[in-house]
Structure 1
Amino acid sequence: MRIVSISFYAFLIILSIYLDDLQAAAIDLGIDVLVENHFHGLETKRIGLITNRSAVNKNGISTIDLFFHSPQVKLVALFTPEYGLFGLDPLKATASSYVDPHTNLPVYPLYGDDLKPTPEMLRDVDVLVFDLQDIGTRSFTFLSTMGLAMEAAAENGIEFYVLDRPNPLGGERVEGIPFDNRFRSFYSEWDIPYIHGMTPCEIAGMINGENWIFKKPKLTLVPMKGWNRTMLWKDTGLSWYPPSPYLPDEDSPFYFAVSSFLGISPEIDIGIGTAFPYKFIGSPRLDPYVFSRQMNKRKLPFCYFSPVVYWPFFGKFREKRVGGCQVHIQEFSKVKLVDIALNLLQELMIELNQAPLASLNADQIDYFDRYCGSDEIRRGFLSGKRIQEIVEGWDNYIQNFKEKRKKYLLYSSQDHQQ
């Protein structure tokens, strides 16, 4: 049976490579490049793989299977980010380690008590390999997991590999909120804008190069082939494998950027517990028609808002009537995501008499500010500032970041790799 299993998966790997020219995918992912190069640099080494179900090659074969059934390497442990190995755990997989029945390997969650691998977890590991699909927004925790694991690798004298994947929002879009080190947390770990326009390999290079961790590992980056900075996810030809239960389709990262931090308020619902997470914005006390009309009066480019009434099947407003709007993005390459978010928050503050931010208790204030990476938004809106007044100082930060990141960029904005 074991021989049959090995032969079957060997066939899948060979088929995956053979089908390259037959697939719609326009690019080779980092895992594809690594397999094509016969796992060069990792031969015979004991591998700890940081991954979940979002990590597949361009033909849909999981990175776990590609490593587990490769004769060139020895996969000895799996490490999982927020939402667990299958990216579908709404409890965020805070449970202790366990054994994966598919591979019989130990699985170590890097969320909850242990945000980075411990020496005990790394005892039998020679190299940590990171392969996860990020979504392009600072507050999504996968890049925090990556950097902290890089630091753990350095502390334990092991190497670190990053297998690159596309930024679903593209590589040219960079938008505030700026990072304020006073509010550094797992949700805002690195000095990058809220929307950073970089890939995991590029961020890893920046983390090392800017000395953002106390100890730096020997780092190997495995870039993609064929990706360029103008590409959104829809341009890659790749299938979308959700990295979390609330990101069901390839457009989800755009809506996450718009509304995720709004949901920290106890007064605001963002569609979690419905079929439209991050696309519905509402409250039990909102008139959906008035709210949608007022949002459309703001004439935000490349989007519009339609009224909705819904009953979430779980979450803080479970089975309660919620009124609000659905956000509709019309031009994904042109829309300003943070601008939509700030206008939604401003209108919610007006409609709900300041309650979305004024109602926050001390713990919620801390969470909101750390999630945003700054207290500017909360303080600005509570003091009655206009949006333009809040963001007027952001341009310098964005321009400085764009200049700083140049030496870490691995791809051009053309149809070929730099």
Structure 2
Amino acid sequence: MKGPAAYRHMARLIRFSFGFLFLLSSLSRSLQAAAPVDLGVDVLAKRQFRELQGKRVGLITNASGVNKNGISTLDLLRHAPGVRLTAIFAPEHGLYGTSWAGEKVDSLRDPQSGLPIYSLFGETRKPTPEMLREVDALVYDIQDIGCRSYTYISTLGLAMEAAGENGKEFFVLDRPNPLGGERYEGMPLDSRFRSFVGEWDIPYVYGLTPGELAKMIAGEQWIRKRPQLTVVPMNGWRRDMLWEDTRLLWVPPSPNIPRPESAFFYVLTGLLGEMSGVNNGVGTTLPFALVGSPELDPDGFARTMGQRQIPGAIFRPVRYRLFGKEARGRLFGGAQIHLWDPRRVPLVPTALTLLEEVNKALNGAPVAGMRAEDSSLFDKLCGTDAVRLALQQGRSVKDLWESWDSYLEEYRARRQKYLLYPEVAAPAPLGGVQGPPQAVGLEEAAVPKAVPVPANGGNR
């Protein structure tokens, strides 16, 4: 095709392309506008930030602190009339989420505003009086994942304590728990193992939003001095919602939590990363969704986990390599975890089953080969040494989660007065797998009775 006809044809294609892009853009905006949940920051903005009017504000946030349209809370507060943003505070992984787990975060200055960015994962884990000198109120807005060992909730409570000790107000802009607000599972915190990866007396999976947990930290007097606390709740969030139900944007709160479902995988395999010679997908495009070792037989391991008949989960045999020069040439075998129904998966019993089966498949080497510092961190992440000792001694981990039932029942009663969003239905029976589990911990939740009991003491 040549001449004027060709130009007319090209013009029509260009108009169609621009029209199609405009349609997609409009559809995207419409879907976002239809999101049923207003985050705490959205609620605050609709109220014209009146609670912060005339105050000098210090903001505790990171890249995940955005409103429902993807605008950062940092930018919103910088331009909010009557609000003077004077300091920024960054948790583990830094303000931009570019630091790796455990990596020291340095204090610096924000290149756009010139404001100080104080690190709360560097020389101190808690705001100092000097950091708070030009602050009247601290505002906390960080997306969490609902697991005790994820350190942002430690930052939350320690910052609350600093606010109380220095006479500052404290605001929490509430956000959804991506695991939902109905499940609570797993290990109680033994005070001997209290640390920054386990500060509060809550289960490993605790079933609260950041605002609810802040109320509990203050109400249970887990900090030395309580601040004047204000939680700005969400509108439209229900406890039975998973992230996909909110239709909100997901911004990774840390480098290895790229998707909302990563929160589930973190609970399932986070502890595996401390075992000797075992990988949990960190260092691949599927962080926390893989279980592997150079010595692990993928077909045999996937078959073993499949025989467990974990509700809502499938284990597929895989072979993979890690990124990075030091990992070249090392082929890992293992399983990829697929969650076809995340609501039904008993997370902590499944996590313990994975620990047990990996350790058994590798003849005890993953636990026996731990260095002293690895064992110490593993116990702190668990909040107890009972898990490691059971694995070392070849005892069934089933006995562990059965022993936590009374604690979970007590926790359920204790947390009631701190709930900002009502429970949707009556709690499921202990160990039940119909709908979101409330206090999973019995063997029926993780392993149906039809599964034969291994002769060498498996997870039954």
Deviation at 1:219, TM superposition (A): 0.7
The corresponding residue for 2:22 is none
Pair 1:240-2:241 in alignment: no
Note the 1:6-405 alignment, pairs <5 A.
23-90=33-100, 94-314=104-324, 317=327, 320-405=330-415
Q: Distance in 2 between matches of 1:92 and 1:367?
A: 11
Q: Distance in 2 between matches of 1:134 and 1:319?
A: 36
Computing the radius of gyration from Cα coordinates, the structure with the larger value is 2
Q: Distance in 2 between matches of 1:241 and 1:194?
A: 23
| Cα separation, partners in 2 of 1:20 and 1:102, compared to 1, 3 Å | farther
- 1:124 maps to a residue whose letter is E
Deviation at 1:77, TM superposition (A): 0.8
TM-score (norm 2): 0.84
Say how many residue pairs are matched: 397
Deviation at 1:39, TM superposition (A): 1.2
- Contact 1:99/1:107 (<8 A) preserved: yes
| Cα separation, partners in 2 of 1:41 and 1:181, compared to 1, 3 Å | same
What is the identity percentage for the equivalent residue pairs of Structure 1 and Structure 2? 51
Deviation at 1:89, TM superposition (A): 2.3
**SS of aligned partner of 1:122:** coil
| Cα separation, partners in 2 of 1:91 and 1:364, compared to 1, 3 Å | closer
**SS of aligned partner of 2:51:** coil
**SS of aligned partner of 2:215:** helix
- CA deviation digits over 1:206-234, x for unaligned, max 9? 00000001111111111111111000111
**SS of aligned partner of 2:400:** helix
Q: Distance in 2 between matches of 1:376 and 1:391?
A: 11
Q: Distance in 2 between matches of 1:343 and 1:314?
A: 30
- 1:26 maps to a residue whose letter is P
Q: Is the deviation greater in 175-184 or in 317-326?
A: 317-326
Q: Distance in 2 between matches of 1:112 and 1:286?
A: 37
- Contact 1:84/1:93 (<8 A) preserved: no
Q: Distance in 2 between matches of 1:128 and 1:319?
A: 49
Q: Distance in 1 between matches of 2:102 and 2:111?
A: 20
Deviation at 1:44, TM superposition (A): 1.4
Q: Distance in 2 between matches of 1:327 and 1:274?
A: 14
- Contact 2:39/2:68 (<8 A) preserved: yes
- Contact 2:61/2:95 (<8 A) preserved: yes
Q: Is the deviation greater in 114-123 or in 160-169?
A: 114-123
The corresponding residue for 1:12 is none
**SS of aligned partner of 1:338:** helix
TM-score (norm 1): 0.92
Q: Distance in 2 between matches of 1:179 and 1:329?
A: 27
